[in-house]
Each structure stands twice: as structure tokens, then as C-alpha cells.
């Protein structure tokens, strides 16, 4: 359970709002009700209702007619949410080779429900792939994986290279 879920029973919706606000702030843009309504595909009155709740929990500074700002605590949680989203999107796009638009949509869906251990393992997997294949040829691995996804069989060069021992196959 993430930090936000422990504090408030609102979960996914709150996280979506915090992430959207953080993305806007990171781009140097001011956060307005109409921007959030457009991004989150909801009506302005729904945005205002959620903003009041977020403000009551101390995650944002919000006054009617003013720009919306994340508090230090709200920004901390939003950064965490965005980090999860980016790791999941990268895993889906770069490793599973899901098209970008689908990877982004699925990452948004998954970021709210995955257990922290699962998410941590995905992040560690990506880190391992980067470090290990920096020396061993990451692109060759990904090209072979793509071939396997598309043809449902190993590429010839994988079949020709039979490992001599268990350690070599890892």
C-alpha cells in the first residue's frame, strides 16, 4: 500500500490528480481547474470537489479563483507516482514492446494497483537489464526478443547457441 492510500481512502483518483498537477508544474505551467478537467477528462465541478479534498488532506494549496499548487507533501507523493508510471511505461514499451500509447495507458492503470514489491522488482529488472546489457549487447537481446514476440519462436542464432552449463545460460 502506498503512502497516499494509507492516509486517505481515495486512492487512484487522488493519485491521478496529484500526478497531473505535478506534470503541469514540472513543465513550468500553472495549474488551473480547466487544465485538470481537460487532462483528466472530467467536468470542472468534479475537479473542484477533488481539489477541496486534496486541500483538506494537505496535499495542495487551493483557493477559488487562484492557481493550484502542490504542497511539499503533495509533491513528494506525486513524484513517487510519476516514478512508478515511468518505470511501468518503460517496461511495457521497451521490454514487452507494447506500442507507446497503450504502454502509457496501461502504466496509468497499473501504477495504482501493483504491490510495492512487484513494482520494485520491475524497477530492479530494468536497472539490471541496463547494467548487464551495457556490456553484453542490449540491442541484440531486444531484437531477439522482438523476433520471438512476432514469430512465437526463437531466432536461429538463439537455437544455434546452446549453453555448456547452467551458469552460461543465465
DSSP state of 112: T
- Confidence band (pLDDT; 50, 70, 90) for 159? confident
Mean pLDDT of 150-158: 87
Q: What is the pLDDT of residue 111?
A: 87
Assign 98 a pLDDT band (cuts: 50, 70, 90). very high
| Residues above pLDDT 70, as percent of the chain | 85
Query: What is d(CA 104, CA 115) in angstroms, rounded to the nearest whole number?
Result: 19
Answer with the residue of higher pLDDT: 5 or 97.
97
Calculate mean pLDDT across residues 35-60: 94
Instruction: Assign 89 to helix, strand or coil.
Output: helix
Q: Map grid coordinates 481537460 to a residue.
A: 38
* 103 grid coordinates: 504502454
What's the CA gap between 55 and 67, in Å, rounded?
A: 13
Q: How many CA atoms lie within 13 A of 154 on its CB side?
A: 7
Give me the pLDDT at residue 163, please. Answer: 59
Q: Cα 162 to chain center, whole Å?
A: 37
Buried b or exposed e, range 125-146, using 16+ CB within 10 angstroms: ebeebeeeeeeeeeeeeeebbe
What is the value of pTM for the model shown?
0.75
pLDDT at site 137: 64
Question: Does pLDDT of 164 surpass 90?
Answer: no
**Whole-number pLDDT of residue 63:** 87
Amino acid at each position: 500500500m502506498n503512502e497516499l492510500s494509507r492516509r486517505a481512502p481515495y486512492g487512484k483518483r487522488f493519485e491521478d490528480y496529484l500526478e497531473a498537477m505535478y506534470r503541469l508544474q514540472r513543465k513550468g505551467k500553472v495549474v488551473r481547474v480547466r487544465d485538470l478537467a481537460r487532462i483528466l477528462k472530467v467536468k470542472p465541478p468534479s475537479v473542484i470537489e477533488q481539489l477541496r479534498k486534496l486541500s483538506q488532506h494537505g496535499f495542495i494549496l487551493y483557493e477559488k479563483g487562484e492557481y493550484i499548487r502542490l504542497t511539499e507533501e503533495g509533491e513528494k507523493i506525486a513524484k513517487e507516482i510519476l516514478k512508478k508510471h515511468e518505470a511501468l511505461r518503460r517496461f511495457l514499451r521497451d521490454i514487452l514492446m507494447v506500442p507507446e500509447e497503450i504502454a502509457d495507458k496501461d502504466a496509468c492503470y497499473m501504477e495504482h494497483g501493483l504491490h510495492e514489491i512487484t513494482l520494485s522488482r520491475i524497477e530492479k529488472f530494468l536497472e539490471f537489464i541496463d547494467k548487464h546489457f551495457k556490456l553484453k549487447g542490449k540491442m541484440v537481446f531486444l531484437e531477439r526478443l522482438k523476433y520471438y514476440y512476432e514469430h512465437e519462436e526463437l531466432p536461429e542464432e538463439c537455437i544455434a547457441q546452446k549453453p555448456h552449463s547452467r551458469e552460461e545460460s543465465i
